[in-house]
Amino acid sequence: MDLLEPRHEVEIVEVGPRDGFQPIGPFVATERKLRFIREAFAAGLRRIEIGSLVSASAVPQMADTPDLMRALADDAGLLPQILVPTARRAEAAAAAGAPMLAFVLSVSPAHNHNNVRRSPDESAAEYEAMTSVLDPGLPVRLNLATAFDCPFDGRVAPDAVFRLLDRLVPARPDAEICLCDTTGRAVPRQVAALFAEARARFPAVRRWALHGHDTYGLGCANAFAAHGEGVRVFDAAFGGLGGCPFAPGATGNVATEDLVWMFEEMGVSTGVALPALLALARDAAALPGAQPGGRVRAALEARCRV
């Protein structure tokens, strides 16, 4: 059975509990996180990035990821995705029973160094080391952060993406490949072009994903462009959480409810029940320290009649 196979025309991967909560200063209690995760699952979001195994001093909000993994181990149908940046963290996650892993490295040297104090090539070696020791039956995703644009270096050349994929696709040919617009500065024509060329160069890759941010208002536009190139897996965060803690106004991930609205209204099924999603998105947006984003929550509340 292919655990990552989308069950609907598109699969939305809920990353609110990881990318959305990560920049929130006040610690969100583990019990509260569990409730969000289970409500998201009940709304139809099967694959949920529940946290990451990273330095708890660097990202204190993720300190309870092992607790979440344990608590959710028996939730039937839920597919918790755990983000890891090194082989050692990946092995720890697998040993703790993670049902799937998302390994992240940044295409841009400056961003990768800032995150994990390694060059992209050093992180690529970590990915290879991880795949050589992991059970080959454990589903893996490869996240290429800053695949379009870097907060330090600006636009990222497609060749830098392809050079990493030339090396890393053979390490786990069955991995899902996610190209991440970390800054939200990708534009739809660029998104379409990069996925078109990536799919042409790596025809053996079965599944491509887009991780988008809505910082410049292009979260949905970029998802639409990627969908036009055959991408069927999309990351999103309930409430549009995920802003940068050091930059008020720099809103975060594309809101799950905005993506669900767009796809469902286009007749593309997501499997997500919008009313249930909206209820939890409103709760998430109201978390102390959260920087919510997205449009659909407010639009459906206001629903102008004139």
Supply the residues annotated as catalytic.
Answer: 244
Number of residues in contact with its own copies under rule CB under 8 A: 48
Q: Which is nearer to its own copies, 60 or 173 (CB)?
A: 60
Q: Are 141 and 102 in contact (CB under 8 A)?
A: yes
Q: Which of 58, 74, 136, 246 binds its own copies (CB under 8 A)?
A: 246
Q: Which of 161, 218, 231, 290 binds its own copies (CB under 8 A)?
A: 218
Gap between the Cα atoms of 88 and 65, Å rounded: 16
Tell whether residue 114 is a contact of its own copies (CB under 8 A).
yes
Tell whether residue 303 is a contact of its own copies (CB under 8 A).
yes
CB of 274 to its own copies, least distance (A): 12
CA dihedral 255, 8, 196, 18 (to 10 degrees): 40
Q: Which of 81, 183, 253, 270 binds its own copies (CB under 8 A)?
A: 183
Tell whether residue 95 is a contact of its own copies (CB under 8 A).
no
Question: In 95-138, at which residue ranges do the beta strands (DSSP E only) sit?
Answer: 101-106
Q: Are 255 and 294 in contact (CB under 8 A)?
A: yes
Tell whether residue 136 is a contact of its own copies (CB under 8 A).
no
**Beta pairing, strands 154-155 & 149-150:** antiparallel
Q: Which of 251, 253, 256, 270 binds its own copies (CB under 8 A)?
A: 251
Look-up of token digits 């042409």: 200
Angle separating helix axes 188-201 and 158-168, nearest 10 degrees = 30
Q: Are 188 and 229 in contact (CB under 8 A)?
A: no
Site string for its own copies, 186-215 (x = CB under 8 A): -xxxx-----------------------xx
Q: Which of 173, 217, 230, 289 binds its own copies (CB under 8 A)?
A: 217
Q: Are 85 and 104 in contact (CB under 8 A)?
A: yes
Q: Which is nearer to its own copies, 63 or 110 (CB)?
A: 110
Look-up of token digits 């082989």: 87
In the three-class reduction of DSSP (H, G, I as helix; E, B as strand; rest coil), residue 105 is classed as strand
Largest CA distance in the chain: 61
**Only segment of 65-73, 75-83, 88-96, 266-274 that touches its own copies (CB under 8 A):** 266-274
Q: Which of 66, 109, 151, 271 binds its own copies (CB under 8 A)?
A: 151
Q: Are 211 and 241 in contact (CB under 8 A)?
A: no
Q: Which of 72, 175, 220, 231 binds its own copies (CB under 8 A)?
A: 220
- Tally: H helices and E strands in the chain: 11, 10
Tell whether residue 22 is a contact of its own copies (CB under 8 A).
no
In the three-class reduction of DSSP (H, G, I as helix; E, B as strand; rest coil), residue 138 is classed as coil
**Only segment of 10-18, 35-43, 94-102, 298-306 that touches its own copies (CB under 8 A):** 298-306
Token couple for 258: 């905005």
Tell whether residue 294 is a contact of its own copies (CB under 8 A).
yes
Tell whether residue 306 is a contact of its own copies (CB under 8 A).
yes
Tell whether residue 19 is a contact of its own copies (CB under 8 A).
no
Chain positions contacting its own copies, by CB under 8 A: 114, 151-152, 183-185, 187-190, 214-221, 223-225, 243-244, 246-251, 255, 258, 261-262, 265-268, 294-296, 298-299, 301-306
